[in-house]
Amino acid sequence: MLIETHQLTRRFGPRVALRPIDFALAPGEVVALVGPNGSGKSTFLKMLAGFLRPSDGRVSVFGVDPMRARVDVMRRARFSFAPPPLYDRLTGREHLRHLARGVSREEIDRALDRVGLGARADDRVRAYSFGMRQRLALAQALLPRPELLVLDEPTDGLDPLAILELRDVLRSLHRDHGVAILLATHLITEVDALVDRLVLLHEGAVLFDGTPDGLRDRPQLRIVADRLDVAAEALGGRLVDGAVVLEAGALDLETVRARLAAAGARLHAFGEVRASLEEALLARLRAERTHAR
Amino acid sequence: MIGFEWLKLRRSNRPWIALATTAFFLALMLVGFYTYAQRETGGAADFRYTYENESYFNGLTFALYAFYYGFLLVLPIFAATEGGVQIAGETASRTIHLGLARPWSRGAIFRAKCVVAFAHSAWLAVFLLALSLAAGLLLVGWGDLRLYPGVLQLTESQQFLPQREALVRFGYVAIASVLPLATTVAFALWLSTWTRSAVNAVGVAVALYLVMFVISEIHFFRDLQPYLYTHYVAYWRELLQERIDWSRVALDATRLFAFGAGFLWLAFRRFRLREDP
């Protein structure tokens, strides 16, 4: 395993930022760490980078404790944190030249072109937009090519085209070079197609760890009728966003029609739907919050 | 890594602000020295461009006074600023993460920052002395250096150094003055590892320097003096005596070095063990 944590916990004073977390990332795997702001994603990444000490439990990256052997970890891993910390008075090219020592000029130029900063490489960073800073942070994380790439909110501030390009870059790193990638994001739709596994964090605890398909609920039967409350009672379903929802295949069309007619309601729409990943994610978070109350 | 730190320093405004402030200070000193000399001599002091000035108020006296005040009151502010911003500034802007996310040890990062901060302070000391001498010799006039006992505690008895010998001694002073400034940098670096704000680090370093300097200069507090590094920062005054007591110079330099090494050790220990959220 490239990353392994066992009961990893972090407290800041009385506040628990991370509840005991067991996590593993295998070579070549692409995993998204998803959760709302303040869910503990960045804290988790900083513990992987050896910037923060665990309060309890243990963490190992490439088999070593990153707090004790950070240099060994950083020889093989690249981290990019959000928002991207950069030196405003230095140019993009100067950042890469000094941060990625030993990398040839040609490679630096290629990395800058790859993130679309070739034409602005000699401008000072203070003249960059947030999206450009994000691209530069990505470029520095690509040099030299790591075995493990850890990106914190990499799509923040990027326009749709840049997000597509980012996906292409990451896909190519993964496909062509077997780079393992850990992405922390609160916008799952932007990396949905890229990841093998999702880890959903909420208030420092893991709510879900599995494939994106596993997070989506099974297909649902969605019925729209007038007098929805009556219809929900007649069909034995739940009212969700202006529709009665049942498990897919629970009732056929004729049965629904007959029950609604008997209850004095009229059917408008009948069909099976599958929740998007984002909807599934939000549903999990809402359910967790309701449960917590 | 030193190249990277050097580039960051060059791109910041700090060196230019320090140089401009030092030059402004010298200009004020020049006007103040001129008006003081005029008043003390009843208007008899005569300043021209590059001529031999036989009076006590000559270019070397001006250079010494300007350097003395500048060294004790102006340069420490810039030395403390440089030490203060090196780590606290990068912690506040989180750019410290850029270095820590590279296979660079904390020791290497710390060393590079120290070297650049020390070099910057040393360069300022040399600049101040060179400019003081240039302004003194060109605008006040040359001559021999005479020192008398007084409030500045430059000497305990009357001293006389011929111009050539005085210039050699100023060369010694330039070298010796690097150590006290490096100690102030080390002190500020230590404070810098404790705070996440460059403004706080610099403010506290400057304030503590001034507090310690004032305490160490007041005779009433002489029992405290050995514990305050500021008591030794003007140890280079000994180099302007007719007969230099080298053992005293070496002892004070060793004390300063010990203070500086202690501050650096504390700073590095804190930097090595701390977390960087």
Instruction: For residue B142, list its beta bridge partners.
Output: B52
Q: What is the mean pLDDT of residues B96-114?
A: 95
Other CB atoms within a 10 A radius of the CB of residue B261 amount to 12
Average pLDDT over every residue of B83-92: 92
Peptide bond into A83 cis (omega under 30): yes
Inter-chain residue contact B275 with A51, CB threshold 8 Å: yes
Task: Determine, for residues A51 and B100 on separate chains, whether the beta-carbon distance falls below 8 Å.
Answer: yes
Q: Give ∠ CA B131-B133-B138 in degrees, rounded to 5.
A: 95
Q: Is B8 within 8 Å of A71 when comparing Cβ atoms?
A: no
DSSP assignment string, A60-86: EETTB-TTTSHHHHHHHEEEE-SSPP-
Give pTM, 2 decimals.
0.85
Residues of A in contact with B275 (CB under 8 A): 51-53
Asked if A155 contacts A166 with a C-beta cutoff of 8 angstroms, the reply is yes
The single residue listed with the structure tokens 């020592």 is A101
Token representation of residue A249: 């295949």
Say if the Cβ atoms of B94 and A99 lie within 8 Å: no
**What is the CB neighbour count within 10 angstroms for residue A198?**
23
**Tokens, residue B56:** 């006590």
Element (H, E) at A269: strand A267-273
Nearest chain A alpha carbon to B2: A98
Q: Tell me whether strands A15-25 and A77-80 are parallel, antiparallel or unpaired.
A: unpaired
Look at residue B128 in the predicted model and tell me its pLDDT: 95
Q: What percentage of residues in chain A have a pLDDT greater than 70? A: 97
Contact B94 A85 (CB under 8 A): yes
**pLDDT per position as a tens digit, A98-150:** 999 889 999 999 999 988 898 999 999 999 988 899 899 999 998 888 999 99
- Yes or no: say if B117 and B198 are a contact pair by the CB < 8 Å rule: no
Closest residue of A to B276, CA-based? A51
Cβ of B3 and A98 within 8 Å? Answer: yes
Least confident stretch, A105-109, A210-214, A226-230, B29-33:
A210-214
Contacts with B89 (C-beta within 8 Å, 6 or more apart), sequence order: B192, B198, B201
Q: Determine the distance in angstroms separating the CA of A98 from the nearest CA of chain B, rounded to an integer.
A: 6
Contact at CB, B100 and A49, closer than 8 angstroms: yes
Is A197 within 8 Å of A29 (Cβ atoms)? yes
Instruction: State how far Cα B156 lies from the chain centre.
Output: 23
- A51 and B97 within 8 Å at the Cβ level: the answer is yes
**pLDDT tens per residue across span A167-187:** 888 888 899 889 999 999 887
Maximum Cα interatomic distance, chain A, rounded to a whole number of Å? 78
Residue closest to B195 by CA, chosen among B208, B210, B213: B208
- Residue A278 pLDDT greater than 80, yes or no: no
Nearest C-alpha in A relative to B6: A98
Residue B256: pLDDT band (50, 70, 90) is very high
Residue B63: which residues within 8 A CB-CB, separation 6 or more?
A: B129, B132, B133, B135, B136, B137, B170
Sign of the four-CA dihedral B87, B93, B94, B99:
negative
Residue A112 and residue A121 in contact, taking contact as beta carbons nearer than 8 Å: yes
From the list A232, A218, A214, the residue with the least C-alpha distance to A275 is A218
| Residue A290, pLDDT above cutoff 80 | no
Point out the residue among A50, A75, A85 whose CB comes nearest to the CB of B93: A85
**Helical residues (DSSP H) of A144-276, grouped into ranges:** 160-177, 212-215, 228-235, 253-263
Q: Which is more confidently placed, B43 or B86?
A: B86
First to last CA, chain A: 37
Of A77, A280, A88, the residue nearest A179 (C-alpha): A77
User: What pLDDT digit, counting tens, does each position of A10-24 carry?
Assistant: 999 999 999 999 999
Q: Express each pLDDT in B151-178 by its tens digit.
A: 667 777 788 888 899 999 999 999 999 9
The answer to whether B5 touches B115, Cβ cutoff 8 Å, is: yes
- Per-residue confidence at B27, pLDDT binned at 50, 70, 90? very high
The predicted model gives A250-265 an average pLDDT of 89
Closest CA to A26 of A46, A57, A1, A62: A1
Average pLDDT, chain A: 88
Question: Is the peptide bond preceding residue A219 cis, with omega within 30 degrees of 0?
Answer: no
How many CB atoms are closer than 10 A to CB B168? 13
Tell me if B277 and A46 make a contact (CB, 8 A cut-off).
yes
Chain A residues within 8 angstroms (CB to CB) of chain B = 43, 46, 49-53, 70-72, 74-75, 78-81, 85-87, 89-90, 94-95, 98-99, 140
Spatial strand order of the sheet with A180-185 comes to A77-80, A148-152, A180-185, A30-34, A197-202, A205-210
Sign, CA dihedral A265-A271-A276-A280, equals: positive
SS3 B57: coil
Instruction: Please report the pLDDT score of residue B257 as a whole number.
Output: 97
Closest residue in B to A47 (Cα–Cα): B277
Residues of chain A contacting B104 with CB distance shorter than 8 Å = 71, 74
Confidence of residue B68 (pLDDT cuts 50, 70, 90): very high
Interface test with B, best of A67, A70, A126, A133 (most B CBs within 10 A): A70
